[in-house]
């Protein structure tokens, strides 16, 4: 069926690299390969994400670990970590939707309908499970729900889609890029390395057309 339609060779939307794990990849959840840190800081949780967890949130330690390499401590993706008999290969099944996301989607939908008080019920079910107290105010509830999605669904390939559908992808990634360029070391760039000037610009919001589909059109 061609490379573009083969799920074994997926492409990934432009995204925050540190907040995504490659879908269907056999080694996409392997946190032990820390030698890549000296090259490009691949797939490292950002300081921004780490700071998004509230004090006492048990999901933080369940999702993010740390390792020391080259005299520096780096975070790594711990979520769904599973011991493997063969390097880079695990038998983990990838969750497409979890019950917690269903609750958060319901909370979001109710809030958009103006039923903010009702939305709190479902939001707080997720928070209570994570060891956090109830949100009682409906002020800025949309942002609260989106942050809850960010920490609950971290590394599950949801963040980029949330940014796109809420119309915040360009502003969020542009601001993120400015922080990275201003202080590369705090984002785990090796000493002397920095993003290229064009990084975090010309942000693409949609997938390209699959080559197999484009070949069927007389306009390509």
pLDDT in tens, the chain (220 residues): 444 444 444 444 444 444 444 433 334 444 444 444 444 446 789 999 999 999 999 999 999 999 888 788 889 999 988 766 666 676 777 788 999 999 999 999 999 999 999 999 999 999 999 999 999 999 999 999 999 999 999 999 999 999 999 999 999 999 999 999 999 999 988 888 888 888 888 898 988 888 888 888 888 7
Whether 42 is in a domain gets the answer: yes
Question: Does residue 28 fall inside a structural domain?
Answer: yes
pLDDT of residue 213: 85
- Asked if residue 111 is part of any domain, the answer here is yes
pLDDT at residue 176, rounded to an integer: 94
- 109 plus 181 within the same structural domain: no
Q: Do 51 and 13 share a structural domain?
A: yes
pLDDT of residue 20: 40
Residue 1 shares a structural domain with residue 42: yes
Same domain, 88 and 104: no
Structurally, how many domains does the chain consist of?
2
Same domain, 16 and 68: yes
Are both 81 and 113 inside the same structural domain? no
User: Residue 30: which domain range?
Assistant: 1-93+176-220
Same domain, 78 and 26: yes
Q: What is the DSSP string of the chain?
A: --GGG-TTS----S--GGG---TT-TTTT----GGGGGTT-TT---HHHHHHSPTT-HHHHHHEEEEEETTEEEEEE-TT----SBTTB--PPPPS--HHHHHHHHHHHHHHTT-HHHHHHHHHHHHHHTT-PPP---TTHHHHHHHHHHHHTTTSS-HHHHHHHTT-HHHHHHHHHHHHHH-GGGGTPPTT----TTTT-S---SPPPPHHHHTT-TT-
Residue 14: its pLDDT value, please? 45
82 and 36 within one domain: yes
> Is position 165 within any domain?
no
* pTM for this entry: 0.76
């Amino acid at each position: 069926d061609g490379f573009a339609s083969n799920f074994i060779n997926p492409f990934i939307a432009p995204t925050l690299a540190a907040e995504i794990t490659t879908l269907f990849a056999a080694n996409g959840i392997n946190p032990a390969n820390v030698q890549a840190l000296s090259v490009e800081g691949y797939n490292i949780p950002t300081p921004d994400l780490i700071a998004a967890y509230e004090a006492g949130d048990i999901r933080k330690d369940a999702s993010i670990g740390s390792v020391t390499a080259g005299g520096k401590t780096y975070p790594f993706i711990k979520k769904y970590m599973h011991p493997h008999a063969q390097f880079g290969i695990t038998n983990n099944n990838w969750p497409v939707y979890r019950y917690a996301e269903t609750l958060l989607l319901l909370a979001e939908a109710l809030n958009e309908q103006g039923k903010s008080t009702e939305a709190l019920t479902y939001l707080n079910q997720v928070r209570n499970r994570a060891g956090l107290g109830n949100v009682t105010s409906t002020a800025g509830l949309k942002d609260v729900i989106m942050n809850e999605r960010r920490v609950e669904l971290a590394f599950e390939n949801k963040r980029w889609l949330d940014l796109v559908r809420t119309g915040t992808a360009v502003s969020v990634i542009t601001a993120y890029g400015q922080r990275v360029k201003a202080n590369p070391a705090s984002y785990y760039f090796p000493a002397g390395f920095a993003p290229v000037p064009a990084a975090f610009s010309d942000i693409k919001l949609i997938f390209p057309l699959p080559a197999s589909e484009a070949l069927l059109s007389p306009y390509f």
